[in-house]
Structure 1
């Protein structure tokens, strides 16, 4: 049976290669091999000897190994170099080039070993995420996460769980993000493995999901528990990630001074680490807190976020770069630079794309504020109408409720009470406060 399968495979490969080169069976014939024997090989009725394979390979300008296994060593080497180029491009922040290299290599995955194929698939998913193509990244990440080769509890497994959780959060599916994060943390607890920085990062990502969902109690409880764990077993970067997210929980609870102290501690811990991207994101967070704290310092905030943006232009995702533009726009509004703020918000929209995402709505909130600062009320109304249309596509969350509140405030400044009232009602509904039903006619009248 095995010999029959081998004969059939070699014959099929021989026929396909011959035809691709525009050759006939007689073109492969020689003094030792007749054209009829070539026909028998191609139909799987004969298994060629080593000598026959060498003769056929020479005429077809391929290797014996290719005829037997389908692998072309020279082609495989080229593809491995392409994957290595993708790795280098990814490290340098050239995500478009990285995606192209990985995709080209994966188009010929049958020429690569399993480990290289897996590396390319992970790189492809990572590049898609950094380019903001989250809907395309998610199925690739799921496939890798659920692959039998992915060992639960391993560093790779934890990193894939973090990436999936983060992507679901960014596309606004907080239910799936939380479910996945909780299941992954539960699996780690069941396995009883030593805690690593990757595990702490998973916890940090889940904290962010809780906050976006408005579940500040769970976010606070998890942050408090992980701080204790991180102090015992975490590296400086791992501890920094936990303090960072604990700071964001404190800010969400209105404890801005505590938030600044926690994020300052995270900055000290991460400053000595080589994680350029995470340090830049943390600087951005610190600048953002300085802008919205009890004593706003717009100039210092802008300085910190510009430093973060410089690094994230090299190593960050399009979403992270857009966030920088939006918060820089807010800083410039505080500094009275409405035209510069409007331009930054437009650049942010260019990075985000056309999908209805919270960042896109927030960019339009900035644009509307900038237009109002320039006395362009009509322009602000048009922008707010578009923002409302996008908000209608977002799932209920604390973040979406805050955006509805911002839109309501701006409609009020536009002297449109009906629109502002509707926006405020939407904000209340998203945090679970819904309008009481009106009494029916039968209840209020003849029901006595």
Structure 2
């Protein structure tokens, strides 16, 4: 395909516009150039200078950029404005409409070879896919966005890299998600590419996988870096997302009040920005905080609010994950039958390739509920399924707890050797949380 700025393409463009204006080559050329120069240019035998293009554009009554690239005047600006509108649609909760807007933008950006707009449209389509739980589709969009920006500096590619890592994380591929995020952090920090927004986005995103892998010390360090970077970051949405992620680490350290305060800051920012999914996630996390603190009634209120908001956004995967948290609270409040019904409903949306950690949590809780009703056979089946999911995901901290539950069940049913094996497996994961799956920590940012 001919490039927009090669001499032949520009020559044909000049000739077409000249004829549309009813001008001769002499009328177009004068007073600065000769008819012979215009003839040579139109034939594609000479590359016009910017000065010549400006003269020709003025005579033809078009913008310099339009003559040089063939793109309609102000097209790039118009597409940028429409990108912002698509982003607002997505953050307002209308994922389907946002996806349609991004798809139209992508078509126009590809047609006019506007690389940055193309990459942003692909990024938006990836985010829409994550919202609706289409993880493989989302990953493909993020990969295409990365390829489109292959020649751009690393900080420009970070949102697409982060999206790809999140899609792997949500699919239960914790190790690979951490590898992607850590290797990108290393490349930024060791290469001196200290972009605050890019670093904050990566550190906030890696906290969840760290926590699920049992690497609490590394999660705490990432939270520390994220908090230190927050004042330098230009995007309030990133700061809000960071506060939500940091709250999880504070909670793991038993700092309940600080976690709640961090979530309150995030919720206020998201409310201001109208980022509905992220606001729903704040309710989700607050519910988790209250549950850990034994405030079960408040936990249920927050989790139901999150569920309603995510259901309204048709964010299927996130909704299923919240339901697992809600079921745990309901069970602890003595509503085990309702909890069991909810878990069985969402298990169809969760599996080893999609939300593995929460699928394991659902089976774990169903096992506990089965034990409460003395159905040891069903309990064991659920525990074994959960164990398989967690082993695949590498969620070390959860594995240790599950091995204890399974070991206790096996011991009570007289299978002492099998129980010992389960306990040993659990101890292996508890000995050094996270260290069996993670290499050296990434390089530190200059704070």
- Superposition TM-score tier, normalisation by shorter sequence: 0.5 to 0.7
Which deviations, in whole Å up to 9, do the C-alpha atoms of 1:159-212 show, x marking residues without a partner?
A: 22321222232333333323322233344443455523x531221112333333
In the alignment, the residues of structure 1 paired with residue 257 and residue 323 of structure 2 have an alpha-carbon distance, to the nearest angstrom, of 25
What TM-score comes out, normalization by structure 1 length? 0.65
Q: For the Cα contact (< 8 Å) 1:141–1:160, is it kept in 2?
A: yes
Q: For the Cα contact (< 8 Å) 1:92–1:314, is it kept in 2?
A: no
Partner of 1:382: 381
Partner of 1:49: none
Answer with 355-364 or 417-426: which moved more. 417-426
After TM superposition, list the pairs within 5 Å mapping 1:240-389 onto structure 2: 240-252=240-252, 255-256=253-254, 258=255, 260-273=256-269, 274=273, 275-293=275-293, 296-315=294-313, 317-353=315-351, 355=353, 357-389=356-388
Partner of 2:132: 131
Structure 1 unmatched runs, 5+: 7-70, 74-79, 434-448
In the alignment, the residues of structure 2 paired with residue 226 and residue 123 of structure 1 have an alpha-carbon distance, to the nearest angstrom, of 24
In the alignment, the residues of structure 2 paired with residue 109 and residue 414 of structure 1 have an alpha-carbon distance, to the nearest angstrom, of 64
In the alignment, the residues of structure 2 paired with residue 413 and residue 279 of structure 1 have an alpha-carbon distance, to the nearest angstrom, of 44
In the alignment, the residues of structure 2 paired with residue 235 and residue 92 of structure 1 have an alpha-carbon distance, to the nearest angstrom, of 17
Partner of 2:228: 228
Q: For the Cα contact (< 8 Å) 1:246–1:262, is it kept in 2?
A: no
In the alignment, the residues of structure 1 paired with residue 297 and residue 392 of structure 2 have an alpha-carbon distance, to the nearest angstrom, of 35
In the alignment, the residues of structure 1 paired with residue 389 and residue 263 of structure 2 have an alpha-carbon distance, to the nearest angstrom, of 35
**CA apart distance, 1:92:** 5.3
Partner of 2:5: none
Q: For the Cα contact (< 8 Å) 1:407–1:420, is it kept in 2?
A: yes
Residue 425 of structure 2 corresponds to residue 429 of structure 1 = no
CA change 1:89–1:232 in 2 (3 A) is closer
CA change 1:398–1:130 in 2 (3 A) is same
Partner of 1:394: 393
Answer with 342-351 or 230-239: which moved more. 230-239
CA change 1:350–1:234 in 2 (3 A) is same
Which deviations, in whole Å up to 9, do the C-alpha atoms of 1:44-93 show, x marking residues without a partner?
A: xxxxxxxxxxxxxxxxxxxxxxxxxxx9x9xxxxxx9x999987874554
Partner of 1:179: 179
What TM-score comes out, normalization by structure 2 length? 0.65
Q: For the Cα contact (< 8 Å) 1:153–1:193, is it kept in 2?
A: no
CA change 1:242–1:137 in 2 (3 A) is closer
**CA apart distance, 1:331:** 0.7
**CA apart distance, 1:413:** 6.2
**CA apart distance, 1:239:** 4.4
- Which has the higher Rg, Structure 1 or Structure 2? 1
Residue 141 of structure 2 corresponds to residue 140 of structure 1 = yes
Pick 1 or 2: higher relative contact order, CA cutoff 8 A, min separation 6. 2
In the alignment, the residues of structure 2 paired with residue 227 and residue 84 of structure 1 have an alpha-carbon distance, to the nearest angstrom, of 27
Structure 2 unmatched runs, 5+: 3-7, 9-69, 73-78, 433-447
In the alignment, the residues of structure 2 paired with residue 420 and residue 316 of structure 1 have an alpha-carbon distance, to the nearest angstrom, of 42
CA change 1:418–1:291 in 2 (3 A) is farther
